[in-house]
Amino acid sequence: MKDLPHMLPANRSRSQPRASRPWPLSGMDNSESRRRPQIIGKLAMAFMLTALCILILKQSPSFSGPSVFSRHEAGVTHVLVTGGAGYIGSHAALRLLKDNYRVTIVDNLSRGNLGAIKVLQQLFPEPGRLQFIYADLGDARAVNNIFEKNAFDAVMHFAAVAYVGESTLEPLRYYHNITSNTLVILEAMAAHGVKTLIYSSTCATYGEPEKMPITEVTPQHPINPYGKAKKMAEDIILDFSKRSDMAVMILRYFNVIGSDPEGRLGEAPRPELREHGRISGACFDAALGIIPGLKVKGVDYATSDGTCIRDYIDVTDLVDAHVKALDKARPSKVGIYNVGTGKGRSVKEFVEACKKATGVSIKVDYLERRPGDYAEVYSDPSKINRELNWSARYTDLQESLSIAWKWQKSHPNRYESEAAVAL
């Protein structure tokens, strides 16, 4: 683990024992009974002081809004967010902070952006709200150290490489980064008694099912290393959950788009990985003139217009699903949920929505299929609707893309300027 200048100290250390004083229940001698009124007086005073502290904390700006003491049903206060510098992780961290959780972000900044951390730090500067630790989850010693120094109540594990095309070219990177790093996290959680895990999984674990829409019991037959690595990680988590009292929520995301409606965060993929990039990143790159146009990869699929069908879910809805999952997570229980809108849209439809949202008449080229792609996936979200009382509020592609476009237009260098300030 390397320290960066902006790294905040851990707030509470597991290695520092909490003060405790045993209270004698029986066999008190006379001197003890003489001291009883004094002790009762001190206790009453301590009680009053505690009540006063709670009142002040509730009214102080850093704990304004819904109370930290009543809001978090599962008793969770401090959440470890792995990959919190990334697109989805940073949006999740923002939501958790807004909901008065304490957040520790661990990120190796290989795909995420220091600028996103900087934005969060500026929004939540109060000591103890947000801690950033620069570390790689492949480094088990560093990870253990982090768990040793912090008392986490829950882990949201976002950190992962996540490009389908890249996974077919560099499968070992994917198995290492996704499957093996999840094992490191689980081992650290087990060793340090952290018992709630919200895991970022994907519709790619289903592969190309015969029947649509996809439910949580649709058989999983992933067809690319990305989906396989995520499926293996799911299996490891599920096996471990059978032997422990861990609370597990596995969320299988469909295709994530959009950004913070208040324009504080956005999607900022690495330019050097552009060739593997997702369709949303490519849409904005093309609209901004960073690339000459959009390349539609595959027009001969057995779908209505020959292009792939995907279920596009807004990142604001997605992080809401995480918070609901965290609220509903319970010991010895596993929940597996699809997170999607339930609507399938073709790549051609996406391109049209992108043109309308950006107002740019983007040049489109039609190319060969991309290795690892499946023709059609969209979710049946009824289980998450029913059990977590969650449903997608953004179901209009153009609306999500318009929100994201605002951030893209006002940040043509994405997070570069924020990152420069941060260093």
Q: Which is nearer to ligand UDX, 135 or 296 (CB)?
A: 296
> Alpha-carbon distance 133 to 111, whole Å?
15
- Nearest approach in angstroms of CB 401 to ligand UDX is 13
Q: Which is nearer to ligand UDX, 115 or 372 (CB)?
A: 372
Q: How many Cα atoms occupy the beta-carbon half-sphere of 227 within 13 Å?
A: 19
> Alpha-carbon distance 41 to 227, whole Å?
62
Q: Which is nearer to ligand UDX, 121 or 224 (CB)?
A: 224
Catalytic-residue membership of 226: yes
Q: Is 247 helix (H, G, I), strand (E, B) or coil?
A: strand
> Alpha-carbon distance 392 to 314, whole Å?
8
- Nearest approach in angstroms of CB 419 to ligand UDX is 23
- Nearest approach in angstroms of CB 416 to ligand UDX is 22
In this structure, what is the dihedral angle of CA atoms 238, 242, 246, 248, given to the nearest 10 degrees? Answer: 30
Q: Which is nearer to ligand UDX, 10 or 283 (CB)?
A: 283
What strand order describes the sheet that includes 78-82? 130-134, 102-107, 78-82, 154-157, 196-202, 247-253, 334-339
Nearest to 336 by CA among 225, 222, 238: 238
> Alpha-carbon distance 147 to 149, whole Å?
5
Out of 134, 226, 301, 337, pick the active-site residue: 226
- Nearest approach in angstroms of CB 328 to ligand UDX is 22
Q: Which residues are at the interface with ligand UDX (CB under 6 A)?
A: 162-164, 202-204, 253, 255, 277-279, 282, 295-298, 308, 310, 347, 370, 373
Q: Which is nearer to ligand UDX, 295 or 411 (CB)?
A: 295
Q: Which is nearer to ligand UDX, 278 or 414 (CB)?
A: 278
- Nearest approach in angstroms of CB 303 to ligand UDX is 10
Q: Which secondary structure element, helix H or strand E, spans residue 94, and what is its range?
A: helix 87-98
Task: Determine what percent of the chain falls in helix, strand and coil, rounding each to the nearest 5.
Answer: 45, 15, 40
- Nearest approach in angstroms of CB 370 to ligand UDX is 4
Q: Is 85 helix (H, G, I), strand (E, B) or coil?
A: coil
Nearest to 284 by CA among 111, 87, 110: 87
> Alpha-carbon distance 79 to 60, whole Å?
21
Q: Catalytic residues, which ones? A: 226
